[in-house]
Amino acid sequence: MSVTAAKGFTAAGIAAGIKDNGNPDLALVVNNGPRQAAAGVFTSNRVKAAPVVWSEQVLKGGTASAVVLNSGGANACTGPLGFQDTHATAEKVAEVLDGHSAGEVAVASTGLIGIRLPMDKLLAGVEQAAAELSEHGGEKAAIAIKTTDSVHKTAVAQGDGWTVGGMAKGAGMLAPGLATMLVVLTTDADVPSAGLDTALRAATRTTFDRVDSDGCMSTNDTVLLLASGASGVVPEQDAFAEAVRTVCDDLARQLIGDAEGASKDIRIEVVNAASEDDAVEVGRSIARNNLLKCAIHGEDPNWGRVLSAIGTTSAAFEPDQLNVAINDVWVCKNGSVGEDRDLVDMRYREVRITADLAAGAESAVIWANDLTADYVHENSAYSS
Amino acid sequence: MSVTAAKGFTAAGIAAGIKDNGNPDLALVVNNGPRQAAAGVFTSNRVKAAPVVWSEQVLKGGTASAVVLNSGGANACTGPLGFQDTHATAEKVAEVLDGHSAGEVAVASTGLIGIRLPMDKLLAGVEQAAAELSEHGGEKAAIAIKTTDSVHKTAVAQGDGWTVGGMAKGAGMLAPGLATMLVVLTTDADVPSAGLDTALRAATRTTFDRVDSDGCMSTNDTVLLLASGASGVVPEQDAFAEAVRTVCDDLARQLIGDAEGASKDIRIEVVNAASEDDAVEVGRSIARNNLLKCAIHGEDPNWGRVLSAIGTTSAAFEPDQLNVAINDVWVCKNGSVGEDRDLVDMRYREVRITADLAAGAESAVIWANDLTADYVHENSAYSS
């Protein structure tokens, strides 16, 4: 259902020849209105790809009438010429779509850093995609933005007379702030850009910003939310925000489930923290500990590595009051040996780590992956 | 030459049976004076092993007459009973060595977290080690502290009539502040504890604190410097500090060269930074980027991953002024494509990354390793 689940949107996904292997690599999503409100959240990496710089400007106006996305090249670290390429892409979209302006066309790119895009193929692809725009094109668009993703990712939530749908790509370089992801969400609810922005920021803060496959922050992360108003329904902000969060959570979980080379999805819940910030800091520290990630891969409930990760943070806690459960077995109590580690069953893909800081009442959940030889293989051969 | 290169020291290394495989696992280093000055630097992890808590107290007095070290168990996260074990170990050393007090015996442990040490074997081992103390025992002591180290590590620097020597163990969980290491340095120079402390802190700051094999900070890191004064020479502080730095640098480089599963040693030099802190922050960010570490393993000069790592820091720089060289080929200039990446020869074990922030005149060097399938294999099977 993807980005065309909501009324007022058309989409297409085609093979423009940007990827050498001939797979689909260009997606176009068009908001046919009547409203064209939009909001966006972007990578916090200071080295931003050209399309991120461009789209941040577009979204400042609170309006986006279309989004063009390509895989096969990130257009990052490509200098002023790379930025011109992004600009030319937006101009081309405006040209082939009647009544659109380039300043309202968001651009997103994903793939290798440091190479220019083949603009002849890309611009011809925009024409082809425009010709294939359809109310049923959401699935094809989701397929066209895949890079090392093994499956395309879509999600939908239904409101009372309105819908939020979306697509995502991302399989590596996943880290908070945001993960290496392109996400486009659409809704036919009648929500102004300020309402979209509030809902989107709240949703990404507890979903995409809390998945961490490998601690590596991307240059291209982009999450867009477009509203057509085509349902004619003005939703309650809370209900709308919850629907956006549901779709983001679903897509974020799909990203972790498809992370490069991973054999385990690790749900890290930090409880009894003095503050939510403390809980997030501790969760991320655990999520990024390579030794722990290897242990989880080996189905080894190595709680000592959890404690050593917690110990590197500035969160409020006393070392001799820490408790850790792995798959609900409290293998560490009061900073020392707890229940028998042989009771921990780690055969399944999902592994749950609970870290109890015994310092307050706040909590947070971070999703991560294990570290595997397959991850090393995929990422040591990616650009060669 | 190790810890017995300097006059006034005896050492021993024996197999006490702490390790199941019968390998040497207990080392004893004794300072026979006439002076027994000492200084220590310990892990900044807030979850500290019992021997770290103990030895920090010992070193506060500025005196250490002996150091007992064991591999085969870290005695970390072992609660009050683990601390009693450390205390009993120091008492045993004081008992078997005439005229020593437990409060001047430093203890260091390394191995798995979260298991109690077999104290009967350990205490019997202390007796055996004391009986085997020798002016030529430094090598055996260095061998007895190995865990997953493939080789034992020693280094020596000669001053004008005095000597600094030392031993180190460490092969994984290497990260600044400090790496997972046990290091004992000895000198026969006549230096009071304040002079030792100044020299040791200055040396570790730019050596052990700047190696980072896997970003994981240990619970047990201990670096000790003991002075016997047996040479009768009072050295100039600068010359002494430089000798200590030389030995630390040599040992730190050996740690990186023996890191678990690594196939490359990566020398990351950040130049033209606005401050040394900026240079270190950027160097560590590059050192910890799993995607880059995989790329280096694959001999792929993937400078985009260097830029994306720099972009996550708070250092002063402009993205479009960053330059990156890999093995002296400036593959990234002004934040974009530079010299031909095919010119980069990455066949050798040492890889040099230079990151030019174009923001000042400060610099720093961080040493790291690549990320390999062997690292994953070693660390997913370590405790099982």
Residue A205 shares a structural domain with residue A339: no
Q: Which amino acid is at B325?
A: A
Between chain A and chain B, how many beta carbons pairs sit less than 8 Å apart? 219
3-state SS of chain A is: CHHHCCCCEEEEEECCCCCCCCCCCEEEEEECCCCCEEEEEECCCCCCCHHHHHHHHHHHCCECCEEEEECCECCCCCHHHHHHHHHHHHHHHHHHCCCCCHHHEEEEEECCCCCCCCHHHHHHHHHHHHHCCECCCHHHHHHHCCCCCCCCEEEEEECCCCEEEEEEECCCCCCCCCCCCEEEEEECCCCCHHHHHHHHHHHHHHCHHHEECCCCCCCCCEEEEEECCCCCCCCCHHHHHHHHHHHHHHHHHHHHHCCCCCCCEEEEEEEEECCHHHHHHHHHHHHCCHHHHHHHHCCCCCHHHHHHHHCCCCCCCCHHHCEEEECCEEEEECCEECCCHHHCCCCCCEEEEEEECCCCCEEEEEEEECCCHHHHHHHHCCCC
Q: What CATH number is associated with residue B191?
A: 3.60.70.12
Q: What percent of chain B has pLDDT over 90?
A: 73
A18 Cβ contact partners less than 8 Å away, ≥ 6 residues apart: A25, A26, A70, A71, A72, A73, A111, A117, A118, A121, A122, A125
Shortest Cα distance, chain A CAs vs residue B284, angstroms: 13
Q: What is the mean pLDDT of residues A283-311?
A: 91
Residue A196 shares a structural domain with residue A303: no
Q: Among residues A257, A284, A310, which one ends one of the domains?
A: A257
pLDDT tens sequence across B2-46 = 999 999 999 999 999 999 999 999 999 999 999 999 999 988 888
Shortest Cα distance, chain B CAs vs residue A5, angstroms: 34
Q: Is B6 on the interface with A (CB under 8 A)?
A: no
Q: What is the pLDDT of residue A191?
A: 96
Q: Which two tokens stand for residue A254?
A: 């799909």
pLDDT tens sequence across A278-292 = 999 999 999 988 889
Higher-confidence residue of A69 and A215: namely A69
Residue B306 has pLDDT above 60, yes or no: yes
Q: Which of A45, A311, A381 sits opposite B308 (nearest CB)?
A: A45
Q: What's the number of domains chain B is made of?
A: 2
Q: Do A376 and B381 touch (CB under 8 A)?
A: no
Helix (H) or strand (E) holding B183: strand B182-187
Q: What is the pLDDT of residue A173?
A: 54
Residue A64 has pLDDT above 50, yes or no: yes
Q: What is the pLDDT of residue B257?
A: 85
Q: Is B214 on the interface with A (CB under 8 A)?
A: yes
Q: What is the pLDDT of residue A384?
A: 37
B216 Cβ contact partners less than 8 Å away, ≥ 6 residues apart: A289, A290, A291, A305, A308, A309, B172, B173, B174, B175, B180
Q: What is the pLDDT of residue A174?
A: 52
Residue A213 shares a structural domain with residue A329: no
Most confident range, picked from A180-194, B114-128, B201-215: B114-128
pLDDT tens sequence across B309-326 = 998 899 999 989 999 999
Q: Do B311 and A46 touch (CB under 8 A)?
A: yes
Q: What is the pLDDT of residue A312?
A: 86
Of B185, B187, B191, the residue nearest B235 (C-alpha): B191
Q: What is the pLDDT of residue B148?
A: 81
Q: What is the mean pLDDT of residues A122-149?
A: 95
Provide the chain B residues 220-279 that lie in CB contact (below 8 A) with chain A: none
Residue A269 shares a structural domain with residue A245: no
Residue B117 has pLDDT above 70, yes or no: yes
Provide the chain A residues 298-327 that lie in CB contact (below 8 A) with chain B: 298-300, 302-305, 307-313, 317, 319-320, 322
Residue A311 has pLDDT above 50, yes or no: yes
CA dihedral over A188, A194, A200, A206, signed as positive or negative: negative
Residue A268 has pLDDT above 90, yes or no: yes
Give the Cβ contact number of residue A138 at 10 Å.
29
Give the Cβ contact number of residue A347 at 10 Å.
7
Q: How far apart are CA A253 and CA A255, in angstroms?
A: 5
Q: What is the pLDDT of residue B122?
A: 98
Query: Mind telling me the catalytic residues of A?
Result: 180
Q: What CATH number is associated with residue B376?
A: 3.10.20.340
Q: What percent of chain B has pLDDT over 70?
A: 95
Domain membership of residue A173 as a residue range = 2-257
Q: What angle do CA B288, B294, B296 make, to 5 degrees?
A: 90
CB B185 within 8 A of CB B244: yes
Q: Which two tokens stand for residue B328?
A: 């002296």
Q: Among residues B257, B288, B320, which one ends one of the domains?
A: B257
A319 Cβ contact partners less than 8 Å away, ≥ 6 residues apart: A307, A311, A335, B46, B47, B48
B321 interaction partners in chain A (CB closer than 8 Å): none
Q: What is the pLDDT of residue B180?
A: 67
CB A185 within 8 A of CB A244: yes
pLDDT tens sequence across B57-111 = 999 999 999 999 999 999 998 999 999 999 999 999 999 998 899 999 999 999 8
Residue B149 shares a structural domain with residue B225: yes
pLDDT tens sequence across B193-207 = 999 999 999 999 888
Q: What is the pLDDT of residue B234?
A: 97
Q: Give CA B279 to chain center in angstroms.
A: 21
Shortest Cα distance, chain B CAs vs residue A304, angstroms: 5
List the alpha helices (DSSP H) in B151-208: 193-206
Q: Is B150 on the interface with A (CB under 8 A)?
A: no
Q: Give the ipTM.
A: 0.81
Q: Is B358 on the interface with A (CB under 8 A)?
A: no
Q: What is the pLDDT of residue A147?
A: 85
Q: Which of A177, A300, A379 sits opposite B291 (nearest CB)?
A: A379
B225 Cβ contact partners less than 8 Å away, ≥ 6 residues apart: B38, B39, B40, B185, B186, B187, B196, B199, B200, B244
Residue B184 shares a structural domain with residue B78: yes
A347 interaction partners in chain B (CB closer than 8 Å): none
Sheet with B153-158, strands from edge to edge, namely B37-42, B222-227, B182-187, B163-169, B153-158
Q: Which residues of B114-126 are buried (b: 16+ CB within 10 A; e: fewer)?
A: bbebbeebbbbbb
B149 Cβ contact partners less than 8 Å away, ≥ 6 residues apart: B169, B170, B171, B258
Shortest Cα distance, chain B CAs vs residue A217, angstroms: 7
pLDDT tens sequence across B154-183 = 999 999 999 999 999 986 655 544 446 888
Provide the chain B residues 74-133 that lie in CB contact (below 8 A) with chain A: 74, 76-79, 82, 112-116
Q: What is the pLDDT of residue A381?
A: 74
Residue A277 shares a structural domain with residue A193: no
Shortest Cα distance, chain A CAs vs residue B320, angstroms: 7
Q: Among residues B206, B235, B257, which one ends one of the domains?
A: B257
Query: Mind telling me the catalytic residues of B?
Result: 180
- Rounded to whole angstroms, what are the CA distances from A193 to A100, A201, A226, A244? 18, 12, 9, 14
pLDDT tens sequence across B265-281 = 999 999 999 999 999 99
Banded model confidence at residue B216, pLDDT cuts 50, 70, 90: low
Q: What is the pLDDT of residue B130?
A: 98
Residue B173 shares a structural domain with residue B205: yes
A379 marked as part of a ligand binding site: yes
Residue B72 shares a structural domain with residue B186: yes
B327 marked as part of a ligand binding site: no
Q: What is the pLDDT of residue B219?
A: 75
pLDDT tens sequence across B230-257 = 999 999 999 999 999 999 999 988 888 8
A313 marked as part of a ligand binding site: no
Average pLDDT of every residue of chain B: 91
Residue B158 shares a structural domain with residue B40: yes
For A289, the closest chain B residue by CA position comes to B216
Q: Which of A45, A294, A317 sits opposite B376 (nearest CB)?
A: A294
Q: How far apart are CA B361 and CA A84, in angstroms?
A: 33
Provide the chain A residues 46-85 that lie in CB contact (below 8 A) with chain B: 46-48, 74, 76-79, 82
Residue A223 shares a structural domain with residue A105: yes
Q: How far apart are CA A2 and CA A166, in angstroms?
A: 5
Residue A49 has pLDDT above 60, yes or no: yes
Q: Do B300 and A383 touch (CB under 8 A)?
A: yes
Residue A216 has pLDDT above 80, yes or no: no
Q: How far apart are CA A383 and CA B67, in angstroms?
A: 50
Q: Is B202 on the interface with A (CB under 8 A)?
A: no
- Rounded to whole angstroms, what are the CA distances from B262 to B172, B254, B349, B382? 10, 13, 9, 16
Banded model confidence at residue A148, pLDDT cuts 50, 70, 90: confident
Q: What is the DSSP letter of B102?
A: G
Q: What is the pLDDT of residue A131?
A: 98
Residue A247 shares a structural domain with residue A289: no
pLDDT tens sequence across A169-214 = 886 655 544 446 888 999 999 999 999 999 999 999 888 888 876 6
Bridge-based pairing state of the strands A153-158 and A163-169:
antiparallel
Q: What is the pLDDT of residue B150?
A: 85
